[in-house]
């Protein structure tokens, strides 16, 4: 058995103050071993602490970058929403132009800019849906190009999944941007073709109703409604625009006044024949300012708003008839 000992003398700066500590070899080895372990633990803790400080700094940097990216994402998204809204307005405008000017549905170039999906069935021929435009590349095609940026690709729009799950991340934004850019290119091409076609039909365009006939607000739309006098559902063949009495009523296009007078239910009525089978009618007027056979141009004042005939208040009842069939006048108002 090892009986070897070690003595350590501890001296102070005071005279006669000396201490000694005697340790066996086993205890000395134990203390040295413990010292090494403590040193290692302290060193490891220090390294971890330094690592945590560095990681905290990196986290702050990443958080700052994420905050900047989120703000940039919001800016891009707002611009994209503006672009999509603008494209939708162009789409509605071009659809109305196509409808009211009877652009040939067989013109494939125009189909790129005009979709008939939102046009009521009574205005579109059977089977004339804009299949060429609907059959655009699905979102999956766009995602192949951007898959390197995505851990989890978005749901397939072709199966209606994007419309079910609302997500705000790079994947869905990428799909929307690609789709908007593609649609903008198609719209540009289609609008140019539409403009060229309309330029060749100047007389038709001048005779086509295209403006709101009076400044006011819509109170009753085209279609079936509950009759305010009988309380029963009845077909409303026009569009009611409420306005103060005496508000001017304008001709929506060039034409010839075909009727001026009083008609049962309609009160004081003006009717304009625009040619091409299109006739507009303006009822419940307080004053009639044109004569039968008079030529009028778009924006000429033809009457003033009133409440004559079967009317519940001052307004103008505006009708558009194509070959004698009432159609929705909203499709003939391009300045909304």
**pLDDT tens string 144-185:** 544 444 445 444 444 444 444 445 666 677 777 777 777 777
List phi, psi (to 5°) of 7. -115, 130
Higher pLDDT, 316 or 105: 316
The highest-level CATH class for domain 217-332 is mainly beta
- CB hemisphere CA count around 266 (13 angstroms): 19
Question: Dihedral, CA atoms, 307, 308, 309, 312, nearest 10 degrees?
Answer: 20
Positive or negative CA dihedral for 185, 123, 119, 89?
A: positive
| CA dist., res. 157 & res. 175, Å (int) | 9
The residues near 177 (Cβ < 8 Å, ≥ 6 apart) are 76, 80
- The pLDDT of residue 188 is above 50: yes
pLDDT at 159: 47
With beta carbons less than 8 A apart as the criterion, state whether 206 and 254 touch.
Answer: yes
- CB hemisphere CA count around 249 (13 angstroms): 33
Residue 302 tokens read as 């033809």
Average pLDDT score over the chain: 76
Domain layout of the chain by residue ranges: 5-63, 81-206, 217-332
258: confidence class by pLDDT, cuts 50, 70, 90 = very high
């Amino acid at each position: 058995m090892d009986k070897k000992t070690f003595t350590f003398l501890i001296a102070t700066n005071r005279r006669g103050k000396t201490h000694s500590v005697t340790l066996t070899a086993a205890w000395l080895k134990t203390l040295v071993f413990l010292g090494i372990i403590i040193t290692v633990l302290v060193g490891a803790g220090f390294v971890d602490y330094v690592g945590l400080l560095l990681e905290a700094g990196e986290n702050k940097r990443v958080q700052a970058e994420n905050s900047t990216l989120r703000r940039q994402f919001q800016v891009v998204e707002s611009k994209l929403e503006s672009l999509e809204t603008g494209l939708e307005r162009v789409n509605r405008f071009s659809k109305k132009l196509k409808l009211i000017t009877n652009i040939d549905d067989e013109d494939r170039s125009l189909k790129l800019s005009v979709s008939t999906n939102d046009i009521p069935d009574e205005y579109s021929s059977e089977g004339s849906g804009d299949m060429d435009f609907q059959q655009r590349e699905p979102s999956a095609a766009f995602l192949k190009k951007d898959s390197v940026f995505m851990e989890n690709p978005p749901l397939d729009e072709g199966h209606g999944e994007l419309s079910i799950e609302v997500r705000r991340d790079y994947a869905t934004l990428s799909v929307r941007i690609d789709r908007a850019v593609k649609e903008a290119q198609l719209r540009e091409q289609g609008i140019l073709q539409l403009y060229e076609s309309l330029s060749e039909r100047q007389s038709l365009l001048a005779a086509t109703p295209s403006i709101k006939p009076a400044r006011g607000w819509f109170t009753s739309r085209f279609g079936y409604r509950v009759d305010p006098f009988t309380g029963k559902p009845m077909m409303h063949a026009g569009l009611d625009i409420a306005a103060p009495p005496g508000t001017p009523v304008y001709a929506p296009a060039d034409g010839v006044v075909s009727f001026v007078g009083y008609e049962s239910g309609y009160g004081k009525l003006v009717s304009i024949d625009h040619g091409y089978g299109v006739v507009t009618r303006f009822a419940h007027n307080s004053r009639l300012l044109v004569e039968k056979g008079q030529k009028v141009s778009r924006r000429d004042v033809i009457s003033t708003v009133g409440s004559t005939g079967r009317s519940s208040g001052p307004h103008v009842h505006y009708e558009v008839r194509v070959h004698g069939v009432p159609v929705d006048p909203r499709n003939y108002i391009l300045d909304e």
